[in-house]
Amino acid sequence: MLSILIPVYNTSVTELVSRILEMIKLVDIDYEIRIADDASTDENLKAENEKLTKYQNCYYDTFTINKGRTATRQFLAEHSKYEHLLFFDADVMPLRENFLRIMLEHLGKASVVFGGVAYAEKPSDDTKLLRYYYGKSREAKPATKRNKKPYLSLISQHILIEKSVFLACNPAEENAYGLDIYFSYLLQKQKVSVLHIDNPTLHLGLETNAQYLVKTQEGLQTMVNLEKAQKLPEDFRPLQRVALFLKKTRTQKQFIKLIKKQESQIIKNLCGTKPYLRLFDLYRLYFYIKLKQDA
């Protein structure tokens, strides 16, 4: 009935799988747990994850070449037994003991079900404050708000999805960071039903401030590449629409000039102990416009 799929790269999923197995005891379903290791370089973690095959209906595959998260998910979906897929990222943890039961209660109500994302009450590391505050402020929203913009609010850290829908919308041919936006667009384009509920997973794997800035840049480059390939419209995300407004009003040059003067100070703030999210918004817009100009 349910294929639980976990792509892995240099992360232990022992605790996550243990939690899933405990949740399965509370429901009566046919299930499988499939783990695919995307050519992890940490042999100890690989060996630890491979031991999970001792559990019933738990399978483990490993790649010799890194394929990326999207292709790894594709592999897992293609090899799954059942028509309903529950994806987990390796760095999340269900908050509630009855998480699985709640997800199963929504089977058939929509082709895609997302429970939301949560963050710890306090940041655990001062070097990861930018990712923490961004997630806490911009991602950790109740279902009532997320359902107003179901495609833009979708974060695939965990999703319950019909297998046929996933295989039709997963951009398996792409290997880049930031492809969730393309996945969401394809769901919208095909008018796939998306339901947001309040059943979050805790996001554990936060990047350092510097790492998150680099990932943000990579994600923006992916977006520009998709636009250039005419796979993504230029007005799908709010950031894109703001850039179009600046272009229409002929104020892009002034904006770029203004932010460029302050760029080093902005980066210093974002990598510091009191990152200001409005500056992060301005920096992302600035970097995106620069990429567009160079494309």
Same domain, 288 and 193: no
| Domain endpoint, select from 165, 185, 203 | 203
Same domain, 172 and 213: no
CA dist 193 and 113 (Å) reads 9
Same domain, 186 and 285: no
Q: Which helix (H) or strand (E) holds 50?
A: helix 43-50
* Average pLDDT of the chain, as a whole number: 95
In the chain, the amino acid numbered 157 is Q
Same domain, 184 and 223: no
The per-residue pLDDT for 290 is: 95
pLDDT of 174 strictly over 80: no
Q: What is the pTM of this model?
A: 0.94
| Domain limits for position 116 | 2-203
Same domain, 113 and 162: yes
Number of domains within the chain: 2
| Domain endpoint, select from 151, 171, 203 | 203
Same domain, 195 and 238: no
Same domain, 84 and 169: yes
Same domain, 174 and 215: no
Same domain, 104 and 174: yes
CATH of residue 33: 3.90.550.10
- 100 pLDDT band, cuts 50/70/90, is very high
- 295 pLDDT band, cuts 50/70/90, is low
Same domain, 217 and 195: no
**What are the tens digits of pLDDT across the range 39-81?**
999 999 999 999 999 999 999 999 999 999 999 999 999 999 9
Same domain, 29 and 145: yes
The per-residue pLDDT for 125 is: 86
The per-residue pLDDT for 218 is: 95
CB 196 within 8 A of CB 150: yes
Same domain, 83 and 42: yes
| Domain endpoint, select from 203, 223, 252 | 203
